[in-house]
Structure 1
Amino acid sequence: MEFWPEFLLIASVHLVAVASPGPDFAIVLRYAVRYGRTIALSASIGIGAAILLHVCYSLLGLGLLIKTTPWLFTLFSVLSAGYLAYLGWQAIRSGAAAPQAEEQVEAISAAPSLLKAFTSGFVTNGLNPKATLFFLSLFAVIISPVTPLSYKVIYGLYMAFATAAWFAFLSVILTREKVRAFLLLKGYWFDRLMGAVLLALAMHLIYGAIQSQLH
């Protein structure tokens, strides 16, 4: 029972972090609107699963190694920026809007597989340096050194589930008929907007990597 206050604090901090707009939100938003609920849910599960990756390296001390080794953190940031830039460029290259019936057929035929959507969600979150810093701070500052490993594992499982649940909730909301119909009216301009957001995030990561090397 003495660890309940710590768990509630972790849950609160995690809720704020997961609800903040970022690469994960952009991916789920694009998939939900363009490909529908099932694809977006698969990406959401991938994002949640990637939380376990962050938890594992934090427990093993690898997060601290990444943070305290400048070139390794820079490499991590560049890899993440490259992947986000790739996704952004793919979105920007989306074709012009087609009539609604043809657009639905095109979207279905061009939709990624469930595995590919899951992988996109997993890699997007797994390569996110901000997530690395968040979990490093979480395990170094908020979670007490005397907290048993079993409790830390429970915290990690909770955050993975909560993350997947949050983005699954967004997937359901964004694919409601009226919401999705409204967003689809914007056609390829919506995709281009999401692409621009992803490219902006990629450039922000590159800028941060350069700044860290200069200092």
Structure 2
Amino acid sequence: MISIQFLVTAFVVVIAPGTGVIYTLAMGLGQGPRAALWAALGCTFGIVPHLLAATLGLAAVLHTSAVLFNVVKFAGVAYLLYLAWQAVRSGGALAVTAESTTQHGYTVARRGALINILNPKLSVFFLALLPPFLSGNAATATLEMAMLGSVFMALTFAVFVIYGLFAAKARDVMLSSERVMTWLNRSFAALFVALAGRLAIERA
């Protein structure tokens, strides 16, 4: 049974602006609703490895292994800096332009998935978030973790879709000015750099 307390906690966590939200907004503004949906899907599936790690106990290994944690962490930092470059580079994959560009949905989703996969704090986060909401029955703990994780993923996808479609709806209004587009690209780049900096100082 999924408790109201878990739903409220999960919802608060999901709506908080993070890397996935920023990426989905960038895709919605830059390429429209289709790209926003693929971005939301990719970010959601990027959660799966971390949920599995938390369920199988691998998150504890990651938490105690400084070397493994830092390898994944700095790969994530490098990837976020790459996305920042793609936001400000002319013709970059994340650049917001007035021209409607169409990228393959798989490519958009893959970037979104990597954003979450390369964030080692997510595994530790789920290891802390899910267990307090278990019934305490060891025989059903794995099933309960899977159910809670599935609900969290469903909430993530739904909220990210709303964010993305909102951004896509605002596309025509916000992209009517060259100055606004320049400001948006620089802002997205700055946000990715800031998130990379925050991830870089995280500890296991």
Letter in 2 for 1:204: R
Max Rg structure:
1
**Bigger mean CA deviation after superposition, 24-33 or 126-135:** 126-135
Q: Do the aligned partners of 2:53 and 2:123 also contact (CA within 8 Å) in 1?
A: no
Query: Is 1:191 the counterpart of 2:185 in the alignment?
Result: yes
Structure 2 segments unaligned to the other structure (5+ residues): 92-96
Alignment partner, residue 37 of structure 1: 33
Letter in 2 for 1:203: G
Question: How far apart are residue 34 of structure 1 and its match?
Answer: 0.7
Query: Is 1:124 the counterpart of 2:115 in the alignment?
Result: yes
The runs of 4+ residues in structure 1 deviating greater than 4 Å are none
List per-residue Cα deviations over 1:140-166 (Å, max 9, x = no partner). 444354261222222111111111111
**Bigger mean CA deviation after superposition, 133-142 or 152-161:** 133-142
Structure 1 segments unaligned to the other structure (5+ residues): 96-102
Matches within 5 A, 1:10-89: 10-89=6-85
Going from structure 1 to structure 2, the CA distance change for 1:112 and 1:188 (only over 3 Å counts) comes to farther
Query: Is 1:170 the counterpart of 2:163 in the alignment?
Result: yes
Q: Do the aligned partners of 1:51 and 1:159 also contact (CA within 8 Å) in 2?
A: no
Aligned partner of residue 47 in structure 2, secondary structure: helix
Alignment partner, residue 94 of structure 2: none
Alignment partner, residue 180 of structure 1: 171
Aligned length: 194
* Aligned-residue identity in percent: 27
Q: Distance in 2 between matches of 1:80 and 1:58?
A: 19
Alignment partner, residue 205 of structure 1: 199
Give TM-score scaled by structure 2 length. Answer: 0.86
Going from structure 1 to structure 2, the CA distance change for 1:76 and 1:144 (only over 3 Å counts) comes to farther
Alignment partner, residue 115 of structure 1: 106
CA RMSD of aligned residues (A): 1.9
Q: Do the aligned partners of 1:92 and 1:191 also contact (CA within 8 Å) in 2?
A: yes
Query: Is 1:91 the counterpart of 2:98 in the alignment?
Result: no
Q: Distance in 1 between matches of 2:33 and 2:65?
A: 40
Name the structure with the higher helix share: 1
**Bigger mean CA deviation after superposition, 68-77 or 134-143:** 134-143
Alignment partner, residue 159 of structure 1: 152
Q: Do the aligned partners of 1:23 and 1:124 also contact (CA within 8 Å) in 2?
A: yes
